[in-house]
Amino acid sequence: MRHEKPSAARKATNLTIDVDLLSEAKALSVNVSRAAETGIAEAVRAEKKRRWVEENREALEGWNAWVNEHGLPLARYRMF
């Protein structure tokens, strides 16, 4: 699950992380910067998805109501 561009610029930053978790990660040779980046990328994806669903909720509910009332368009052509 690579999320970065091959030439993505990097910026040093300060993070506050649980001491025990950080010690365990280092003991297991986990690349903490990459792990943090992966976790942040996942949080960004999840938030974008949540916002998209919220912003489009009315349209989605309208479409669902239409399908409930009229059925799926072209349903008669479905092979399953």
pLDDT by position in tens, the chain (length 80): 555 566 789 999 999 999 999 999 999 999 999 999 999 999 999 999 999 999 999 999 999 999 999 999 888 888 87
What are the CA-CA distances from residue 15 to residues 36, 51, 53 (Å)?
9, 25, 30
**C-alpha span between 60 and 37 (Å, rounded):** 32
- Conformational region of residue 59, where left means phi above 0, alpha means psi within -120 to 50, and beta covers everything else: alpha
Stated pTM of the model: 0.70
- Per-residue buried b or exposed e for 51-67, using 16+ beta carbons within 10 Å of the residue's own CB: eeeeeeeeeeeeeeeee
Token pair belonging to 35: 């792990």
